[in-house]
Every structure is written in structure tokens, then in C-alpha cells.
Structure 1
Amino acid sequence: MRRLTFGMNVSLDGYTAAPGDDLGWGVPSDELFQWWSDRVGATGTALYGRRLWEAMSSHWPTADQQPGATPAEIEYARRWRDMPKVVFSSTTRTVDGNTRLVTGDAVAEITRLKAEDGGPMDIGGATLAAAAMRDGLIDEYAIVTHPVLVGGGTPFFTALDDWVELDLLETRTFPDGVVLTRYETRR
């Protein structure tokens, strides 16, 4: 069974995006950017909700060709393009690159993908992750907490019917007061 991780940048008050989908508070240090790049390099398949897909696909397919692209950005862009991706959306009509579109039942497709052989999967986008979280499909949470209070927006965690007990796997600090905590779902 494939492992599914939900990892995103999060404000200290628990939001992945501030009101208006503002992500300006989550600019990574070089060290944190490399950590995210290494995650992408180790991911067998990335699962994206529509909004995160639109944000990522508007920049990363050609980011390595932009004037002034750093070596780290060039590496991330290459890794991102090479990584197989699945986009879940009922409104998106086409995707390109190394990407497949799913317009039907996201939970059923994620369950099917988890049962396949293959490398680890990452899920991104709070709405898509919330559906997987409610159905108990997430094996690991990688929470990259930034020292900022944004006061509202898109929450990292969704409301749940039952508790989910977790075991701490790792903590790590990054520059600028950013803290990574990784937890595994206790089964």
C-alpha cells in the first residue's frame, strides 16, 4: 500500500492561505525551499486540488527558463515537471505535462491509488486533503509552520467526526523561525 502525506506551509494560526488566497507570508528560506524540492524529488505521485494545481502549473513548467532562475529553482522545476501528478477537479477541462485529470469521486480514486504499487504520494490543496482526511486516507502530516498569524483563510485541518491520533516522527527548525513537524497517523 502506498503512503499518502499531506504537507503544506501553514500559518501559526493554522491556515494554508490567508484571506483572498494570499500566500505572501509563506516565502521559504533557501534551506526550506531545498527541503520542499527534495520532497518533490522523492514523491512517486502528487495529488492536487484545482486551485493548488492552477497556482503550481502557472509557474513551475517554465520556471527554469526564466531570466534569473536560481540553481535551486531550476532543480525544483525539473523535479516538478518529472513528477507524475493527478489533478482532481470537476471544472478543469484539460491538464498537460506529466499530469492526469480526475473529474469523478476523489476519495474513490485516492483509495484506488493507495492500493497500487508505487512510490509515496503527496496530497496538496486543503479542500482535496480535507476529503482524504475525513476518510482516514492520510498516513502522514508534514506541517511547516511559519511564525505569522493571518487571522483567517483556508484552514490546514478540516472538521472531523472522530479523533485522529498521531505519533511524532520529526521536528526541525528552519531559518526565520519556521518549524517542521511531521506526524504519522496511528493505525
Structure 2
Amino acid sequence: MRTLTFAMNLSLDGYIAAPGDDLGWSVPSDELFQWWSDRVAATGLALYGRRLWETMSSHWPTADQEPGATPAEMEFARRWRDMPKAVFSSTISTVDWNTRLVTGDAVAEITRLKTEDGGPMDIGGATLAAAAMRAGLIDEYVLLTAPVLVGGGTPFFTALDNWVNLTLMETRAFPDGVLLTRYETRR
């Protein structure tokens, strides 16, 4: 059975985007950017909600061709294009770059995907991750917490009907005071 991980940068007060979808507070250090690139390379399937898909697909497909692109950005762009992806949306009609579109029930499809053979899956996008979280489908939570309070915006966690017990599996400090904490869901 495949594992499903929800990993995102977030503010200390728990938001993945500040009001107005502002991500200016979450610019990664070179070391953290490399961590994300290595994670993309190891992901068997990335599950995206529409808004995160639009953010990523507006930049990364051609980022390696931009003037001044760093070697790390070129590597990430290549890895991102190569990584299998599924986008969950009922409002878009086409996707590219090794991606398939899922328009049906997200929880049912994620449940099915978890039973397939293949590498680990990552889920991104607040709404999609919230549905998987409420359904008890997330096996790992990886929080990359920045030392900033943004006061509101898009929360990492959603309201839940039941507690989810977690086990701390890893901690790591990155430059600029970013702290990685990785938890496994106790079943």
C-alpha cells in the first residue's frame, strides 16, 4: 500500500498562505529548496488541488529555460516535469507535463490510488488535503515551519471530527530558522 504525505511550508501560526494568497514569507533557503527538489525526485505520484496546480504549472514547466535560472532551479524544473501528477478539479479541462486530470470523487480516487503499486504519494493544496485529512487517508504530515506570524490566510490543518494521534519521526533545522517536523499517523 502506498503512503500519502501532506508536506507544506507553513507559518508558525499554521498558515500555508497569508491573506491574498501571499507566499512572500516562504522563500526557501538553498538547503530547503534542495530538500524539496529531492522530495519531488522521490515522489511516485503527486496529488494536486486546482489552485496549487495552477501555481506550480504557471512556473515550473519552463523555469529551466528562464534567463538566470540556477542549476538547482533547472534540476527542480526537470524533476517536477518528470514526476507523475494527478490534478483534482471539476473546473479545468486539460493538464500537461506528465499529469492526469481527476474530476470525480477525490476521496474515492485517493483511496483507490493508495492500494496501487508505486512509490510514495504527496498531496498538496489546502482543500484537497483537507478532504484526505478528514477521511483519514494521510499517513504522514511534514511541516516546514517558518518563524513568521502571518495572522490569517489558508490554514495547513482543517477542522476534524476526531482526533488524529501522531508519532514524531524526524526533526531538522534549516537556515533562516525553518524547522522540519515529520509525523506518522498512528493507526
Q: TM-score, normalised by structure 2?
A: 0.99
Q: Which whole-Å CA distance do the structure 1 matches of 2:178 and 2:96 have between them?
A: 33
Displacement of 1:97: 1.6
Structure 1, residues 123-178: CA drift from partner, whole Å, max 9, x if none?
A: 00011000000000000000000000000000000000000000001000000000
Displacement of 1:90: 0.9
Q: Which whole-Å CA distance do the structure 2 matches of 1:114 and 1:57 have between them?
A: 24
Q: Which whole-Å CA distance do the structure 2 matches of 1:97 and 1:15 have between them?
A: 28
Q: What does residue 126 of structure 1 align with?
A: 126
The one-letter code sitting in structure 2 at the alignment partner of 1:157 is: F
Q: Which whole-Å CA distance do the structure 1 matches of 2:113 and 2:96 have between them?
A: 20
Q: What does residue 108 of structure 1 align with?
A: 108
Displacement of 1:186: 0.3
Alignment of 1:143-158 (within 5 A): 143-158=143-158
The one-letter code sitting in structure 2 at the alignment partner of 1:131 is: A
Q: What does residue 62 of structure 2 align with?
A: 62
Q: TM-score, normalised by structure 1?
A: 0.99
Q: What does residue 7 of structure 1 align with?
A: 7
1:13 partner SS: coil
Alignment of 1:34-113 (within 5 A): 34-113=34-113
The one-letter code sitting in structure 2 at the alignment partner of 1:126 is: A
The one-letter code sitting in structure 2 at the alignment partner of 1:180 is: L
Which runs of 5 or more structure 1 residues have no equivalent in the other structure?
A: none
The one-letter code sitting in structure 2 at the alignment partner of 1:173 is: A
Q: What does residue 160 of structure 1 align with?
A: 160
Identity of aligned residues (%): 86
Which runs of 5 or more structure 2 residues have no equivalent in the other structure?
A: none
Q: Cα RMSD between the aligned structures?
A: 0.4
Q: Which whole-Å CA distance do the structure 2 matches of 1:60 and 1:92 have between them?
A: 19
The 4+ residue runs of structure 1 with deviation greater than 6 A are none
Establish whether residue 21 from structure 1 lines up as the match of residue 18 from structure 2: no
Establish whether residue 184 from structure 1 lines up as the match of residue 184 from structure 2: yes
Aligned length: 187
